[in-house]
A and B are shown apart, each in its own frame.
Chain A
Amino acid sequence: MKREQVLAIRREVRKRGLNFTYVEDEAVDFISCQIEELLTQGHSFESAFQEAFQQAAEEGMFNLKTKLITPKSIYTMDMLSNYLKVAFRNFSKYKANSAINLLGLVLSLTASIIIGLYLKYEYSFDKEFPELDRLYRVNSISNLSQNTSYLNAVSGMLVPVIDSEIPEVELASDLAIIISNQPLKTNGSVFFDYRLSGVSEDFIEMFNLKEVKGSLKAPFQTLNGIAISESQALKIFGEEDPIGQSFSIEQNQKVYSFLVQAVFQDIPANTHFMDDKWNGFDMLVSMETARSIPSNQPSWTSINSPAYVRLAPGASEETVNAKMNELVVKHHGKEIWYEHYLQPVSDIHLNTREDGISSVGNVQQLKLFGLIGVIILVIACINYVNLTTAQASVRLKEVGVRKVIGARRRQFVMQFLVEAALMSLMGLLISAVLVSVLIPLLNGNFGLHLSLDLSSDWQNLAGFVGLMLLVSLLCGTYPGWYLSRLRANVLLRSSSSVKSAGGIFRKILVVLQYATSITLIVATLIIGHQMNFLSKKDLGFEKEQVVYLKMGWQAGYKYGELLFNEVSTESGVLAASLTSNTLGDGSLSGNGISVGEAEVEKREMHQVLAVDNGYLAALGLELKEGRWFSEDFASDRKEGFVVNEAFVKHFNLENPIGTKLARNSQNGTIIGVVKDFHFKSMHTAIEPLVMFEDDRDRYWNIALRISPENMGNTLERLETAWAGVVPDFPFTYEFLDDQIDQYYKSDRDFALVFQVFAGLAIVVSCLGLIGLVAFTTRRRAKEIGVRKVLGASVGTILQLLSLDYVKLILLAALLAIPVAYYAMSQWLENFEYRVNIHAGVFVLGLLITIVLSWISVSYLSVKAAKSNPVDSLRTE
């Protein structure tokens, strides 16, 4: 038979599904023999071909595939066990390389797993509520001041109206804070730190509150019945059964008494209720009970409590928005200064829709973290690929022999995949241990609630398996593909003639790796600069040694003046002043302000701060013009205003002193101007500020400058003084510098995370470099030997070896600098007051990288340079 004829037979056999190697050959031979026999009987090739295949089909030849499944899988198992055997052999043969690979994988997997868990946690917020896609919070856009502001609150009038008049609203409830942190008394004990809110019965259903004891329906049927959270129940009543117990709360000289009728399960930490102390609740009463407490009468013009709705299936958000706004105007009777809109509850934490309301979660930051996780993982995979292909030059013989025996391309890829899978499995197991050790530390330091629960959380398990597959694929595919591409005769000819495997590709990978490391290092340096700048910058006041006694307005109303008189004369107190907000609160109240003879309608919202005579000294502010409030001018309390420079600039006042100013219903003149000071964080520019003196019973903080000597004693005396004057509220104080530090806590956390990741990235990159240099020195041993024989010094050899990777690092720096510059400029935009990025940072970053790399490979290079040429040249 002719070659073409055999080929035709082979094609037909394959077409009919017998396309696995050994059967195929047999079948081709078998059919060929039949055809040959038919040919000798005088058939033409075509008819013989037809007949042979027809007969073969009748005899079931092509059904053989199904019959052979068992032997085939045995065969696969055999190959798999062979791959595993070879993999383990290679691990133990190239211990150093394998250790580097494993270490790199473990470090980066640990980092990525932690990032993954963190992302999962952040995205898990508010996802457990029923009918989540129809659950919304009603927010407001206020047009009262010159800047539009967004509030997560509505008027107390809104909920009953929308509940009854908008058919799309299925469930609706306020979450109105009624009383918080007032003395709560039961059985002779006093408790603070709780939030009592009024809700409608719908609230229970919307947020799926689960009753632990009693009935959650009861408080909605009984006036003054109350439901409390499990943890509050434990705090107040201990092991006793709280149902049927009662407690009383005093507010504004009135005593309210509540009957505990239900205990509900604590709200999980990953809900927006726990994000912010003003969103949360741990005691609930009905709206009827809430309204029976006098200070809580609702009006359309005051928006003060959050509200939630569940829409009917298929209802449109826009329609409901429009209907709400119409109803507000209709019931209020005229146009009003705010508008409502719905925000999905599932989006409150991260606010991916950018709904105006600021959110606790930060999507940008999460995305950045995710990116860093991926980058670190990729760096480790690059390491693996680099080391494996480099090492392959040593393993080329193995590959060659396999090829000659008949290994197929697929099988090579498979072999390297198995090795990579084995490696990543080991790495993952070690990382899992590391992660579970690290999680308690992270949760403790950053207030997180991460957990690595593989047995009951299928998502974690799926993530784990997915990660392993991904890493195996990333690591194993290229080396297998690359090596199988080489021709067997080249591979086997002679080891010395084989070129370094994948030279250029590997160099690109190293450059990429270093580019990311340098970017991260430069970023870390710039973040460090900025944080340093923030802590060193002159704030315009002296934040050290300032203590705020925090009375709250209830205690301030009753005891403020008395307490102030008592503590201001304590020894150790250098200056004291009653005041409203602290400078560490991060926000001040806003009032309608006008300058000169402007009409009431033209007022602008500006920030105000209530101060007292001693404030200038207590905070160490600097006067620029005029004078501070003084006891000598009785009119100051009624008519005096002190403003800051930004205020003067905003209103273009040429002679600010004596200018008329009106604040709400108070009219007066400016008596002084202080130099600008940072009354908010440095994320924002200094805005105009008006300071005034209030009635003595309307302050809620006392600012004290205390002497640095014997601070402990001073605080103790302050506590005694407080206890003497304010019996029913606990002594609460805070240092101003601690409070201000809180402004930058998230920035500092961010900086810390960056430092850790930058460190990891550079360590993993250096590990990769060690592997590469180990390989090059081995491969160039003969070259080094010849050079030394010809008279090269250790120094020249070192130079030669270093030049290789220093070139790569410089190239990486070229790539990294623009990226880092752009990214960090973006980040610095977050701060109104910030450092400049100058060239020094890049030089420093580059130097750090080069030095670290040099150190990590110095041992290997020096060893290679110092080696005796006799050893390497002996075989020639």
Chain B
Amino acid sequence: MITSNELLRGTLRTIVLKLLYEYGRMYGYEITQRVKELSGGEIQLTFGALYPTLHKLEKEGVLTTTSEVVDHRSRKYYELTKVGEATASTKIEEYFAFIGNMDKIMSAQSKIA
């Protein structure tokens, strides 16, 4: 894993929200795979990191779940609620604003150096 854990932790919620905002209904493994694919293998989410985040979001009412039986096992799909959609778009906007600001700070420092 190339991206550091510290940075990832702060953005995990945003990543999940963004994916669900884009693709609608997803299950846990699918999310990890999609992240891996989109980041070109750079970011690999683990079950241990992802599940608590999903669970927390569900508790907060951002996500809602449905279960289906697939190949002899039950699979839980996650989906944004109405509230969740609003949260997701805010989070995404906030992210871009933040990155923009970070970029300014980082580039400014490099000039001095």
Contact = CB atoms under 8 A, between A and B. Distances in A.
B40 interface: no
Count chain A CB atoms within 10 A of each CB in B32, B52, B56 and give the residue with the most: B52
Interface in B19-42: 27-30, 32-33
B29 A23 contact: no
Nearest to B76: A26
Nearest to B55: A71
A707 interface: no
B75 interface: yes
B73 A28 contact: yes
Contacts of A27: 47, 51
Nearest to B65: A22
Question: Chain A contact residues (Cβ within 8 angstroms of B): what range?
Answer: 20 to 34
Contacts of A3: 72
Interface stretch (A62-70, A231-239, A286-294, A631-639): A62-70
Given A59-B48, A67-B48, A71-B56, A32 B73 contact: yes
B6 interface: no
Question: By DSSP majority rule, is chain A's interface helix, strand, loop, or mixed?
Answer: helix
Interface string A4-20: 00110110000000000
B107 interface: no
Contacts of B30: 33
B58 to A, nearest CB: 9
A71 B52 contact: yes
B52 A60 contact: no
Contact of B73 (A6, A56, A60, A68): A6
A2 interface: yes
Contacts of A6: 71-73
Interface string B64-78: 000100111111100
Interface residues of B, number: 22
A61 B48 CA distance: 5
Contacts of A71: 52, 55-56, 59
B46 interface: yes
A29 interface: yes
Given A25-B76, A29-B28, A29-B73, A60 B46 contact: yes
Contact of B29 (A2, A34, A74): A34
A182 B56 CA distance: 86
A60 B48 contact: yes
B47 A56 contact: yes
A839 interface: no
A255 interface: no
Interface of A: 1-3, 6-7, 9-10, 22-23, 25-30, 32-34, 36, 56, 59-61, 63-64, 67-68, 71, 74
Q: Rank and list the top 10 A-B pairs by shortest CB-CB distance, nearest first.
A: A33-B29, A59-B46, A60-B48, A6-B72, A3-B72, A61-B47, A29-B75, A6-B73, A25-B74, A30-B29
12 contacts: A3-B72, A25-B67, A25-B73, A26-B28, A29-B73, A32-B71, A33-B30, A59-B46, A60-B48, A64-B48, A67-B52, A71-B52
Given A3-B72, A33-B30, 16 more contacts: A1-B71, A2-B72, A6-B73, A10-B73, A22-B55, A25-B76, A28-B73, A29-B73, A32-B71, A33-B29, A64-B51, A67-B48, A67-B52, A71-B52, A71-B55, A71-B56
